[in-house]
Structure 1
Amino acid sequence: MKNVTQEEWEQLLSTDDNAYILDVRTQNEVDEGILPNSHNIDIYEGQGFIDKVNELDKSKSYYIYCRSGNRSGQAAQLMDQLGFETTYNLLGGFMEWDGEVTYQE
């Protein structure tokens, strides 16, 4: 796992053809907006989170965020333990994000 700033996050994403953006927040938080092209799996689902994450392609690069950067850091460490090759944690999370935000239907 590597902790990255928003600037590093955007720079890495712009050249990564193997990227998967993972939002580990709750549904209530997701309702406040999401980063473009992100997929939500709530880390508070516990074993459900692990089961869903284990279905993902471990060779992709995972860009993980939450509200503040804490839960996403935990998720990235857990994913590393599960055999994921590349994980990035967004420092400051969604609270400090000042880029584009979209909303789920």
Structure 2
Amino acid sequence: MMSIFKTLFRIQNRQTDAITKIDVPAFKEAISGKKDLQLVDVRTPYEYNTDHIDNALNIDFFKQTAFKSSFNEFDKNEPLYVYCRSGNRSKKAAVILAEIGFKNIIDLKGGYIAWEKHKD
């Protein structure tokens, strides 16, 4: 019984260690001028088409059957930047992405709402 708990705890720690939540200025700095950037907007297509961060791919978090498989072509060892509207969906998405093996997930604190408030 104890080994199951230890295993679960280790898995949870790995997931937590894989996810970093950063604010808008740090996020902007991290994604600026990067080639082959893995930047994903996990909002709905309607939200994405209204406005989004340049070079972001739209992978709808609510389409769970396709969500995980949409990341098959991504490099799990490279940073993966995610955001949503307010930070709630991207937080859940980050946990799922850590579960499927992504090692460095950067989640935008406050989501696109925060991004909009910091526009130049």
TM-score of Structure 1 vs Structure 2, range by shorter chain: 0.7 to 0.9
Task: Determine which structure has the larger strand proportion and give its number.
Answer: 1
1:52-77 per-residue CA deviation (whole Å, 9 max, x = no partner) reads 12332212211100000110111111
**Structure 1 residue identity aligned to 2:106:** Y
Match of residue 84 from structure 1? 102
Match of residue 41 from structure 1? 59
Query: 7-16 vs 87-96, which deviates more?
Result: 7-16
Distance 2:33 2:97 in 1: 22
| Gap regions ≥5 residues in structure 1 | 101-105
1:11-47 per-residue CA deviation (whole Å, 9 max, x = no partner) reads 2223755631100000111121010110010010112
Residue 90 of structure 2 is aligned with which of 69, 72, 75?
72
The higher relative CO (CA closer than 8 Å, separation ≥ 6) is in 1
| Gap regions ≥5 residues in structure 2 | 1-18
- Give me the CA root mean square deviation: 1.7
Residue 113 of structure 2 is aligned with which of 95, 99, 102?
95
Task: Determine which structure has the larger helix proportion and give its number.
Answer: 2
Q: Contact 1:63–1:87 at 8 Å: present in 2 too?
A: yes
Query: 66-75 vs 50-59, which deviates more?
Result: 50-59
Choose 1 or 2 for highest CA Rg: 2
TM-score (norm 2): 0.75
Q: Contact 1:54–1:82 at 8 Å: present in 2 too?
A: no
Match of residue 103 from structure 1? none
